[in-house]
Amino acid sequence: MTTPPTPPTSSPLRSSSPLPTSSPAGGAPPPGPAIPLSALLADEELGLRLVAGADDPAAVAVHWVHTSEMADPLPYLLGGELLLTAGVQLAEPERNARSYAERVVAAGGAALGFGVAPVYDTVPDALVEACARAGLPLLEVPPRTTFTAVGRAVWRLMGQARHRELRRVTGAQQALATAAARPDPVPAVLHALASRLPGRTVLYAGDGRPYAAAGRPLPDPVESALNRLAARAAAGTASAADTVEGTHLTAYALGGTRGLALGVATGSREPGDHTVAGVAVVLLSLLTARHQGADEATRTAALVRLLLGAAPAEAAAALGPAPWTVVHAQGEGPPPALGTPLLDTADGTVRALLPHGHEVAEHPGWTLGVSAPSTPADLPAADAQAARALRRARAAHAPLARHRASGLAALVDPAEAAAHTAALLAPLGGEPLTATLRAWLSLHGSWDRTATALGVHRNTVRQRIARCAALLDTDLDDPDVRMELWFAVRAG
């Protein structure tokens, strides 16, 4: 081992800056599925060699690549990285190597790649011992292999893994759709799902007993745990997950049904499993719609009346007087399980109508706006409330926002308030100035948050607000003016 020189101010190392590996602050998901460390070791062009720290490289998942010569890399790692270094910071490996390896492990680093040359001509023995002690996989990167080449190989392997995942998910979706078209569709869908994941799938009836099942049998403790998980999902949590005796369990409530739930047990969790299961949940929800209760049947009848030309008031009366809640949601992936079949997914926004007693919770990856409870006759107003709540949630980067109580505005007669609003805001000529003014006032005059809520540039917001001030011939910096306008736009 050579004695490391004092590094120059601008070191001629293989890479002087991190590869584009990290996502924005907040720990967003990686750009692709993780790859096993063994895949990198199998790349003969790289010539990487496992020196210490991993008995099974195939079990080590790499999510990112990061290059750093910092003495303490912990503050700069997200977890799951293959950290590449030439050892500039290891001026005294015998003294520094152990703490360095422990800090990488504490940061969640997946593995450490040590570049041989220009600082060292071999991997320091002290670092090999430290990584072996810490259980940190240590790779030797030969002089001919640049750190950039390692990063490029990781992204290439991730792209291949993503392609395989998409093909797997697409094939599973096609298989499930084909199964749903068979004469006995429910067992066929369960068999297709159990084959594609693979594992065991169970459809639980409303009383908690298995209605149909497919796949290999489970040990009694695991079967009982899956049953309990399905009961919890059907009771209102929409979905639940657990791991029992090495078996991964997931349960999903079926929308449009009373108490039905799908239980899935697999030996491992692979990327795309949740998407495949989500497709099965939708299909099973449609296929089991005949099990709906009397209240669901009444709602369906009301919708049929409306489609056949009945007056909206007549259709609303068929829904009954119980309070209803409108939910607007935006996000990616399968629609959130809200416990209702009354869904509209047009224009990229999920709109749902929930009967009384259905609590709305946060859903990962989705932003929700929830209206106040409403009678059927007031559902259009509740729809507007949910839309405003969704805009407020998106502007505040919150997962869920609910319609706020009217407060003092409730003391004003709605008809008089609407007439005053129409007269006051008439110079604006309607949308988009009125909508911009409403959003700007609700967000306390924040240009950036208003731009986010409306999906326009901040300069567009400034121009529209300036135009509003000119047309209304008023000073929007005056708090009294803002208060009056806020009451007006809320009543409009």
The tally of domains found in the chain comes to 5
Mark whether 286 and 185 lie in a shared domain. Answer: yes
Give residue 117's pLDDT band: very low, low, confident or very high (50, 70, 90): confident
List, in sequence order, the alpha helices (H) in 308-374. 312-318
**Contact at 8 Å (CB) between 265 and 214?**
no
- The mean per-residue pLDDT over the stretch 154-181 comes to 87
Cβ(104)–Cβ(75) below 8 Å: no
**Alpha-carbon gap, residue 402 to 419, rounded angstroms:** 27
Q: Is residue 29 part of a domain?
A: no
Q: How confident is the model at residue 340 (pLDDT cuts 50, 70, 90)?
A: confident
From edge to edge, which strands make up the β-sheet containing 64-67? 49-52, 138-141, 111-115, 81-85, 64-67
In this structure, the answer to whether residues 280 and 244 fall within a common structural domain is: yes
Give 196 or 406, the one with higher predicted confidence.
196
Distance CA 107, CA 215 (A): 39
137 & 73 share domain? yes
Specify the CATH number for the domain of residue 445: 1.10.10.2840
Same domain, 186 and 267: yes
Query: 136 and 44, same structural domain?
Result: yes
Together in a domain, 286 and 225: yes
pLDDT at 6: 37
From the CB of residue 444, how many other CB atoms can be counted at a distance below 10 Å? 9
Q: How confident is residue 406, by pLDDT bands cut at 50, 70 and 90? A: low
- Please say which residue of 404, 419, 448 terminates a domain: 404
Residue 218 tokens, joined = 């489970």
CA 439, CA 447: separation in Å to the nearest integer? 10
> What CATH number does the domain containing 46 carry?
3.40.1390.20
Q: Is residue 307 part of a domain?
A: yes
What would the two tokens of residue 355 be? Answer: 């009967």
Is 266 in the same domain as 347? no
Residue by residue, DSSP assigns 254-282 as PTTSSS-EEEEEESS--TTHHHHHHHHHH
Pick the last residue of a domain from 355, 378, 404. Answer: 404
3-state secondary structure at position 457 = coil
List pLDDT tens digits, range 4-47: 433 333 333 343 333 333 333 344 445 567 889 999 999 999 99
Reported as a pLDDT band with limits 50, 70 and 90, residue 182 is confident
Q: Is the dihedral of CA 422, 428, 430, 434 positive or negative?
A: negative
Q: CA 13 to CA 143: how far, in whole Å?
A: 11
In this predicted model, what pLDDT tens digit does every residue of 209-259 receive, in sequence order?
Answer: 787 888 888 898 888 888 888 888 877 667 888 888 888 898 888 865 557
Domain ranges, residue 369 = 323-404
Q: Three-state SS string across 102-166, please?
A: HHHHHCCCCEEEEECCCCCCCCCHHHHHHHHHHCCCEEEECCCCCHHHHHHHHHHHHHHHHHHHH
Q: What is the dihedral of CA 467, 469, 472, 473, to 10 degrees?
A: -120
Residue 250 vs residues 157, 200, 278, 312: alpha-carbon distances, Å: 29, 11, 11, 40
Of 326, 439, 317, residue with least CA distance to 382:
326
Cα separation, 281 vs 238, whole angstroms: 11
Res 408 pLDDT > 60: no
Q: Label residue 61 exposed, middle or buried (CB < 10 Å: 0-12, 13-18, 19+).
A: middle
Contact 140, 114 (CB under 8 A): yes
